[in-house]
Amino acid sequence: MEGKQPPNFSAEQERYHHLFTQHYQRIYGIVFHILRRREAAEDITQDAFVKAFQNIHQLKDP
């Protein structure tokens, strides 16, 4: 999931991109290890990031 960011990323988008690229493979690996189904693991990993980003404002010390 590594790649260059578009030059017009906002600071917030850059932080999200960083979190995503730093943690995607580990989360995907754990989910895939449990399910052994690539598409389901991808979907669940994406859903986890969506939920995390939607609720990130609730963190007391991000």
Q: 10 Å Cβ neighbour count for 51?
A: 10
Distance CA 56, CA 14 (A): 14
**What is the Cα 18 distance to its own chain's centre?**
9
Higher-pLDDT residue of 57 and 50 is 50
Q: What is the pTM of this model?
A: 0.76
pLDDT band for 62, please (50, 70, 90 cuts): low
Predicted confidence (pLDDT) per residue in 16-49, tens digit: 999 999 999 999 999 999 999 999 999 999 999 9
The Cα–Cα gap between 19 and 45 comes to: 13
Residue 45 tokens, joined: 């990993």
Tokens for 6?
A: 């578009």
